[in-house]
Amino acid sequence: MKTRQLRSLLEDVLIGSALFALVLPSAWAVPSYARQTGMACSTCHTVFPELTPFGREFKLNGYVLDNMKQIKGITFERSETMSLNTIPPLSLMAQISYTHTSTALPDSSSITGALAQDGEASFPQQVSFFYAGKIAEGLGSFVQLTYSGPGDHFGLDNTDIRYAYHTSFDPAAQQDVIFGVTLNNNPTVQDPWNSTPAWGYPFAGSATAPTPITSAKLDSGAGAIGQNSAGLGGYMWFDHSVYAELTMYTGAKVGGTHPLDSSQAPLAHGIAPYWRLAYEKRWGQNSLSVGTFGIRAGIRPAATVPGSTTTPPQNVPLGPADKYTDYGLDTQYQYISDDHLVSAFGTYFHEKQNLDASFKYGLSANPSNTLNTEKLALQYYYRRKIGGSVGIFNTTGSTDTGLYAPAAVTGSASGSPSSRGYVFELNYVPFLNVKLQVQYVAYSKFNGGGGNYDGSGRNASDNNTLYLLGWFNF
Amino acid sequence: MTVKSAALKFLTLSVLACSIGPVLAQVSESDKKDAAKMASEVCASCHGPGGRSTAPTFPRLAAQTPAYIEAQLKAFHDQTRGDPDAIAYMWGMASQLNDNMIAALADYFSQQRPAPGTQASTAAIVTGRQIYEQGVPSAQIPACETCHGKGAAGAGPFPRLAGQHAPYLFKQMLVIQNALRSAPVMHGIVKDLTPQQMQQVAAYLGSL
């Protein structure tokens, strides 16, 4: 009985995590920036949403570069008290997709052996409204409001409001230094490179296909803290080459019961410092960046206590928290010419998990775990029209039968979070703001195994996913 | 038509072009300050500090002749220069520039120290230099030097080409040849240049 209850409980948790993953950020390009600057998408993007070096400069400069008439206010000293675009920086984005998994998922009904529909169109997968552009001199925004089709909800998506100021330690050498402040809701959403998670590869994916059981807190999969957090930080961009940032995050749960109580976990607890250091070298038509980033976050576990039979269930009291420390390394290479565009991305995460709360309440089998993830991707486009990419991802970590318990589709029979797979994409970009994509994700290992990984007879390859996407920005 | 008479014709056109070129405006101290700030905080993102860009998509502006910069910025502003990069990047960037700022930016970049040239294959440079200095007599193509000057330092509305990115120069010759960019004097000169000759000239100029 207890085992069945525990399984049911964990299924709820894992399904909840998977649903949580559905609303995690994707990365969008924004036509309102094009309207504001009067410049084509190709100035800031190789192919959206990946940024070019100029796109990175635009972002770090506070999204404020404008080439349209402004409504202004000034003082006698010529300092600006107001500077607003005459046209509001609004954009719309629509994603319409189709997902087909290799083997249909179990039906959620109680009919034994019933299967869910295999092959599903999402119209829309997502529709987003943006206010993205200049707010005032030096102050700009990227604000995204998203309606999720599968989730049937409308809410705040990726948001980054920032202020940037130029100075120089050595004006004679024409050195330029930007100091900036960012207020955002997702660690790495403020990052200008595409080798960090919020804007990382693959740039779009299915909202309905199964995803691996867990990911590092800074990563973009299940269990990540993006969009349920609020961060305020400062950064420096030194002479177009060195980037340093320190941002403090805290939990900012969207929805649920407020003031927040224990039913609202998982939730970042206290202050979580996020750090970032990166170096970029540009030469000719090439650019190469290397960097490190990380966060130390306290997270309240996301579960009711196993074995609880009370109704409503007994929640984990607010108080103890698990401690997660993520260390990330990333690198990005770009070659950009009129005819050929080559990009390569590499990201590595090492996460230390001190599960003080989870272990205490029996949610994890171990008091501490580790989780490692490597991602590599190579992408090519010909004349920004036709392109393709290949990616590989690999996650390994401590076996923990508490955290990673058996459950149909979403669970792990072995208690291992290990997953490995490949991403293949073919993309056609008929216009700079429209992308048509065919993506295939193939798993050689899913939640710790290749065959019967979930203890219910499902194989990793059953989750192989064909994903067709129409992506429109206007 | 001999090469000499062709050269004479283009020299005449050059003098004519010079005579109808923009009259450089006086630049106030206030505009100079604003232009330096814009150059450092905006233009430098692509054209590099002081106009010494590293990416060949973006031309080097350091030490460029002010009349040429002014003419180009006005062409971007008025949307009369229509090559793909001009449309993508500069139509927007120049749309809000007024004549004073255009003159100040031209003045600013013209006074920056030029970037050093980039070495290319010796054979290309040798042939390119020959085309630059002597033209291509067999195709009745006059010497580039006639207008762009010794050492490709430029003069008035004829741009400085020395040390410019070779891929950029090659692309400009192509877009002019394909009439994507209006350049009355150049249309007649590049119409019979082969892509290989363009690359050779570009390699030579880029190495200066």
> Cα(B172)–Cα(B186) distance, rounded to whole angstroms?
10
Claim to verify: residue B7 and residue B33 sit in the same structural domain: no
Amino acid A10: pLDDT: 39
CB atoms closer than 10 angstroms to residue A15: 15
Amino acid B106: pLDDT: 97
B26 CB near a chain A CB, below 8 Å? no
Amino acid A117: pLDDT: 83
CB < 8 Å to B96, chain A: 66-69
Write down all domains in chain A, each with its CATH number in brackets.
Answer: 2-473 (2.40.160.10)
**Continuous H helices in chain B:** 3-20, 29-38, 44-47, 66-77, 84-85, 91-93, 99-110, 122-134, 145-148, 166-177, 184-190, 195-207
**Continuous H helices in A63-205:** none
Claim to verify: residue B126 and residue B153 sit in the same structural domain: yes
CB atoms closer than 10 angstroms to residue B144: 25
- Residue A185: pLDDT band (50, 70, 90) is very high
Q: Residue B163 is part of a domain; what is its CATH number?
A: 1.10.760.10
Is the pLDDT confidence value at A429 over 90? yes
Please check whether residue B52 lies inside any domain of the structure.
Answer: yes
Q: First CA to last CA across chain B, in angstroms?
A: 31
Please check whether residue B140 lies inside any domain of the structure.
Answer: yes
Claim to verify: residue B174 and residue B139 sit in the same structural domain: yes
Distances (CA, A) of B57 to A14, A339, B111: 49, 12, 22
CA A470 to chain centre: 20
CA angle A26, A32, A37 (to 5 degrees): 125
Please check whether residue B85 lies inside any domain of the structure.
Answer: yes
Beta carbons within 8 Å of A449's beta carbon, 6+ residues apart: A412, A413, A414, A416, A460
- Residue A26: pLDDT band (50, 70, 90) is very low
Claim to verify: residue B187 and residue B136 sit in the same structural domain: yes
Cβ within 8 Å, pair A54-B45 = yes
Distance from CA of A138 to the nearest CA of B (A): 11
Claim to verify: residue B127 and residue B74 sit in the same structural domain: no
| Residue whose pair of structure tokens reads 């994507």 in the numeric block | B180
Q: Are B77 and B140 in contact (CB under 8 A)?
A: no
Q: How many Cα atoms occupy the beta-carbon half-sphere of B95 within 13 Å?
A: 18
Lowest mean pLDDT among A408-417, B2-11, B76-85: B2-11
Amino acid A18: pLDDT: 39
> Cα(A245)–Cα(A232) distance, rounded to whole angstroms?
11
Claim to verify: residue B105 and residue B131 sit in the same structural domain: no
Q: Are A427 and A386 in contact (CB under 8 A)?
A: yes
Cβ within 8 Å, pair A67-B42 = no
Query: Residue A448, by phi and psi: left (phi above 0), alpha (psi -120 to 50) or beta?
Result: left
pLDDT digits (tens, 9 = 90+) for B98-123: 999 999 999 999 999 999 998 888 99
Beta carbons within 8 Å of A271's beta carbon, 6+ residues apart: A248, A249, A250
Cβ within 8 Å, pair B40-A176 = yes
Claim to verify: residue B201 and residue B141 sit in the same structural domain: yes
B36 CB near a chain A CB, below 8 Å? no
CB < 8 Å to A59, chain B: none
Mean per-residue pLDDT, A308-326: 67
Q: Which residue of B has its CA nearest to A241?
A: B45
Is the pLDDT confidence value at A19 over 70? no
Interface mutation target, options A33, A36, A37, A39, chain B, most CBs of B under 10 Å: A39
Q: Which residue of B has its CA nearest to A168?
A: B40
Q: Which two tokens stand for residue A428?
A: 């056609």
Claim to verify: residue B53 and residue B7 sit in the same structural domain: no
Please check whether residue B121 lies inside any domain of the structure.
Answer: yes
Amino acid A8: pLDDT: 45
Amino acid A14: pLDDT: 38
Is the pLDDT confidence value at A304 over 80? no
Is the pLDDT confidence value at A45 over 50? yes
Claim to verify: residue B129 and residue B72 sit in the same structural domain: no
B50 CB near a chain A CB, below 8 Å? yes
Is the pLDDT confidence value at B148 over 80? yes
A434 CB near a chain B CB, below 8 Å? no
CB < 8 Å to A45, chain B: none
- Work out whether the CA dihedral B190, B195, B199, B200 comes out positive or negative: negative
- Residue A253: pLDDT band (50, 70, 90) is confident
Number of structural domains in chain B: 2
**Continuous H helices in A23-113:** 31-37, 41-44, 53-60
A120 CB near a chain B CB, below 8 Å? no
- The DSSP call for residue B29 is H
> Cα(A17)–Cα(A12) distance, rounded to whole angstroms?
8
Q: Which of B54, B92, B95 shows the shortest C-beta gap to A282?
A: B54
- Work out whether the CA dihedral A117, A121, A123, A129 comes out positive or negative: positive
Q: Of B66, B87, B110, which marks where a domain is finished? A: B110
Query: Residue B199, by phi and psi: left (phi above 0), alpha (psi -120 to 50) or beta?
Result: alpha
Q: Which residue of A has its CA nearest to B44?
A: A176
Q: Of B110, B137, B157, which marks where a domain is finished? A: B110
Distance from CA of A391 to the nearest CA of B (A): 28
For chain B, positions 62-121, list CB contacts with chain A under 8 A. 84, 87-89, 91-96
Cβ within 8 Å, pair A174-B88 = no
Beta carbons within 8 Å of A25's beta carbon, 6+ residues apart: A157, A158, A186, A189, A198, A220, A226, A227
Of A203, A224, A155, A200, whose CA–CA distance to A374 is shortest? Answer: A200
Mean per-residue pLDDT, A111-119: 83
Amino acid A25: pLDDT: 38
Q: Which two tokens stand for residue B160?
A: 């400085």
Is the pLDDT confidence value at B12 over 70? no
Beta strands A229-238; A419-431: pairing state: unpaired
Cβ within 8 Å, pair A284-B55 = yes
- pLDDT cut 90: percent of chain B above it: 80
Please check whether residue B164 lies inside any domain of the structure.
Answer: yes
> Cα(A80)–Cα(A65) distance, rounded to whole angstroms?
15
Per DSSP, the residues of A423-450 read EEEEEEEEETTEEEEEEEEEEEEBTTBS
Amino acid A53: pLDDT: 95
Distance from CA of A55 to the nearest CA of B (A): 9
Amino acid A235: pLDDT: 98
Cβ within 8 Å, pair B96-A69 = yes
Please check whether residue B23 lies inside any domain of the structure.
Answer: no
> Cα(B201)–Cα(B152) distance, rounded to whole angstroms?
11
CB atoms closer than 10 angstroms to residue B89: 21
Interface mutation target, options A174, A288, A339, chain B, most CBs of B under 10 Å: A174
CA angle B75, B69, B21 (to 5 degrees): 75
B44 CB near a chain A CB, below 8 Å? yes
Cβ within 8 Å, pair B96-A67 = yes
How much is the pTM? 0.89
CB atoms closer than 10 angstroms to residue A370: 12
Please check whether residue B7 lies inside any domain of the structure.
Answer: yes
Is the pLDDT confidence value at A466 over 80? yes
Please check whether residue B172 lies inside any domain of the structure.
Answer: yes
Query: Residue B69, by phi and psi: left (phi above 0), alpha (psi -120 to 50) or beta?
Result: alpha
Interface mutation target, options B33, B42, B46, B54, chain A, most CBs of A under 10 Å: B54
Claim to verify: residue B89 and residue B130 sit in the same structural domain: no
Claim to verify: residue B121 and residue B103 sit in the same structural domain: no
CB < 8 Å to B56, chain A: 284-285
Greatest alpha-carbon pair distance for chain A in Å reads 78
Cβ within 8 Å, pair A68-B95 = yes
> Cα(B161)–Cα(B117) distance, rounded to whole angstroms?
10
Cβ within 8 Å, pair A54-B46 = yes
- Taken as a whole, chain B contains a residue count of 208
Q: Of B110, B142, B174, which marks where a domain is finished? A: B110
Interface mutation target, options A67, A83, A178, A338, chain B, most CBs of B under 10 Å: A67
Residue-number span of the structural domain to which B193 is assigned? 3-18+117-207
Claim to verify: residue B193 and residue B124 sit in the same structural domain: yes
CB < 8 Å to A54, chain B: 45-46
Q: Give the DSSP H or E segment for A17.
A: helix A2-22
Q: Give the DSSP H or E segment for A252.
A: none
